[in-house]
Amino acid sequence: MRFFDSEEWVISSAGGMTGEAYMAESGNNKLFIKRNSSPFLAVLSAEGIVPKLLWARRMGNGDVLTAQQWMNGRVLKPGEMSSKRVAGLLKKIHTSDPLLFMLKRLGKKPVSTDQMLKQLVDRAEKGRQTKAVREAILFLQKTAGQAEHAQKAVCHSDVNHNNWLLDNDGKSLYLVDWDQAVIADPAVDLSMLLYWYVEEDKWEDWLNLYGWDLDDSLHLRLVWHMIATTLRFMFWHQEHAEVKKIILFEKDLLWLNEYAANITC
């Protein structure tokens, strides 16, 4: 594939679920190419949240290609997710006015717990409703009003450690893969990170790094979104017939249902 008149670039897949990401190489030059990425990428780059955006070009077939600076580094290890740097970058994202302004310009509207619940119920009705799923949805229905939070922010929605990149010098930390970004309660991101990577007795300390105090109201919001996110991922794997992943998320759901039963609402 030719991006510049004077250079021939070799293209290979860069992985990912969408199949829209590529690595482009020409001599010593290397780029990260994505097809039909959101204009949101430009603001993420300007804010220093993703590697630098170099250019965007419309191809003859109508596709838009974006090229980002290739970063030599690695993904974060699970044990690094509880760090102050991770908390700081999430706080920067959740308090960024430029990110919020651009996502709204792109047509995204704030999402409430009631709207999230409706989407989950609709998806549950199309799949196999186990006892664990029914119990989880019942908890979400009973507590959706109490878990609603008025202040919405840009949320990544998949803060898996594989989406965090640290450069080889250890100076720059990025959060990539923004295809699922929403405007919602920041607890969407915080709940996932805490549940997957931080021991429960350290939640309060980690939230203090982020800048919040853990009270009963926040605790309920975190558990609500832990369950909602677990259902969302489980339904995705059901829709893609990935049985092993479904089993793993159902185990998580069983534990979360038991945990939620002990919360005073």
Question: Which tens digits make up the pLDDT trace of 240-252?
Answer: 999 999 999 999 9
The sign of the torsion formed by the CA atoms of 72, 75, 77, 80 equals positive
The residue with greater pLDDT, 63 or 249, is: 249
Residue 1 has pLDDT above 50, yes or no: no
Looking at residue 6, what is its pLDDT? Answer: 47
The correct CATH number of 75-261 out of 3.40.50.720, 3.90.1200.10, 3.20.20.140, 3.40.140.10 is: 3.90.1200.10
Residue 5 has pLDDT above 50, yes or no: no
Rounded to whole angstroms, the Cα distance separating 171 from 124 reads 43
Adjacent-strand bridge partners of 75? 165
Active-site annotation holder among 5, 63, 97, 158: 158
The answer for residues whose C-beta is within 8 angstroms of residue 44's C-beta and 6 or more apart is 50, 99, 178
CA dihedral angle for residue 76, residue 204, residue 87, residue 229, rounded to 10 degrees:
70
Average pLDDT over residues 184-213: 97
Tokens representing 203 are: 């939640």
Active site residue 201: no
Round the average pLDDT of the chain to a whole number and report it: 90
The correct CATH number of 10-70 out of 1.10.10, 3.30.200, 3.30.530, 3.30.70 is: 3.30.200
User: 29, 69 in Cβ contact below 8 A?
Assistant: no
Looking at residue 35, what is its pLDDT? Answer: 73
Rounded to whole angstroms, the Cα distance separating 41 from 93 reads 13
Residue type, 187: A
Looking at residue 140, what is its pLDDT? Answer: 98
CA 187 to chain centre: 12
Residue type, 10: V
